[in-house]
Amino acid sequence: MSKVFAINAGSSSLKFSIYQLPEEEVISSGLIDRIGVGQSNIVIKTQTEKYTDVKDIDNHEEATVLLLDQLKALNVINDFDEISGSGHRIVAGGEFFKDSALLDEEGVQNVEALAEFAPLHNPAEAKVIRTFKKLLPGKPTVGVFDTSFHANMPEKSYLYGVPYEYYEKYKARRYGAHGTSHKYVAGQAAEKMGKDVKDLKIVTAHIGNGASLTAIKDGQSIDTSMGFTPLAGVVMGTRSGDVDPSLLQYVMDKEGIDYDEMMRVLNHESGLKGLSGVSSDMRDVEAAAEKGAHRSQLALEIYAHAVKRYIGSYIAELNGIDALVFTAGVGEHDASFRQAAVENMDNLGIILDPERNETVSDGLISTDDSPVKVFVIPTDEEKMIVEDTIRLGNITE
């Protein structure tokens, strides 16, 4: 039996899952955080125990070596020969990576070159990939890109209304994100409907601390709410979503702040957090709203309204839909938010079943006679990473 890694490296973190083949069963998972910050937390879960430790880890290379050594110490891995390959989630694939890809040295260099589109993530991901390739020579290393599912959107969807030369010279365009999640849940919805995803029109709503919606036709993304960066689109936990650029200059002048500070505010102090003044966590905001906090109530209304606006626009763009899917932290677990996001959309064919919406954790939450089937489906990006690694790495066992 062989094992395949699914790796998600963040700017200061390293998440992993190990799948045993051929069952594709998760036998270990965990996280190393605060890399380069100090006092890194190490958590490794196996099928029988949970290992934890705290130590200073200076960089992602050190974290990767420590992880593999500790997995051997815990007997999760007896020998590196058991590992058949590794799949790595990468934020930015630009226009170069329009699908997941087997990464050779040139491929890793391209990941590094795309760091200008994801400066906090791509460099860290490239370092982890290089370390895996060094420690596991000859084993396939696959990159799975957040942007690749959206890479083939039509020009009318990805181009901005700015001089075309900016796209020609700088590749200034909409790239989107969460592509692996959108692709996965769309496929799962098609399976639940007993149909081929290529025969369906679907809107997927990945609603978590980060949030995006995607219009899917013939199994392909034709439009998505996030833009050149993940800042665009709907209101999120700490991100503003869509904002008139002129407003930014106005506020910068009034507050006496520069562009970098404005970007920090838009990314880290806005969204639910900025509107409510309470928290970026939906649960905290809902608790405050239930106690009568007006700003928290308003924040929830604005969030749901933004999602509804995109759902409606994508229904128009697709000329009707067959299914709507909610996924990710809020989308999977918050029934009241789902209800608010599709309220009064009966004439568009979306009719929730109140009981199903409250009780179903993976399946249909619309009524039997709803023209549009509405699902809540837990996302599983790690499984998609492993499946692409098996496919592109030609792993047979």
The phi and psi torsions of 188 (rounded to 5 degrees) equal: -65, -40
What would the DSSP string read from start to end of 155-177? HHHH--SS-HHHHHHH--S---S
353 classed as catalytic: no
Question: Which residue is it, tokens 């050779």?
Answer: 104
Name the burial class of residue 10, with classes exposed (0-12), middle (13-18) and buried (19+) by CB atoms within 10 angstroms of its CB. Answer: middle
Which one-letter amino acid corresponds to residue 116?
A: E
SS3 348: helix
Question: By the 8 A CB rule, do 169 and 143 touch?
Answer: no
Length of the chain: 397
SS3 78: coil
Instruction: List the 363-364 sheet strands across, edge first.
Output: 220-224, 211-217, 201-207, 323-327, 373-376, 363-364
Strands 373-376, 323-327: parallel, antiparallel or unpaired by DSSP? parallel
Q: How far apart are CA 66 and CA 375, in angstroms?
A: 40
Which one-letter amino acid corresponds to residue 105?
A: E
Q: How far is CA 376 from CA 129, 207, 212, 379, in A?
A: 33, 11, 15, 9
Q: How far is CA 273 from CA 283, 284, 306, in A?
A: 12, 10, 16
Among the listed residues 146, 334, 380, 388, the single catalytic one is: 146
Q: How far apart are CA 334 and CA 347, in angstroms?
A: 24
The phi and psi torsions of 310 (rounded to 5 degrees) equal: -70, -40
Which active-site residues does the annotation give? 146
